[in-house]
Amino acid sequence: IIGFLFITSQAAMATARDGLLPSFLAKLSRYQTPYWSIIISSSIMTILLGMNYSKLLTSQFTLLVTLSNLCILVPYLYTTVA
């Protein structure tokens, strides 16, 4: 989970630098880490992990994971065809 947190925060920072996300996600701390991206990414992960404690929320979490995999699959298929 920690490694995924660092990857998602770096991706959010790079996307914010490109102007596709709010610019505050690209702000760096004095240690050159994207602290707002880390805070928001970890909050989202905590909420999603907390959803696993209920059977109803587990099915919703499974749906979110399936949807995220499908969202990743579409651009992957486009790049494979190209």
The pTM (predicted TM-score) of the whole model is 0.60
Chain centre to alpha carbon of residue 10: 10
Chain centre to alpha carbon of residue 26: 14
Place of tokens 């610019």: 23
Place of tokens 């994971």: 65
Number of alpha carbons in the 13 Å side-chain half-sphere of residue 79: 5
Q: Does the pLDDT value for residue 1 go beyond 70?
A: no
pLDDT digits (tens, 9 = 90+) for 7-65: 888 888 888 888 888 888 888 889 988 889 888 888 888 887 777 677 777 787 788 88
Alpha-carbon distance 81 to 1, whole Å? 31
Residues 28, 34 contacting (CB under 8 angstroms): yes
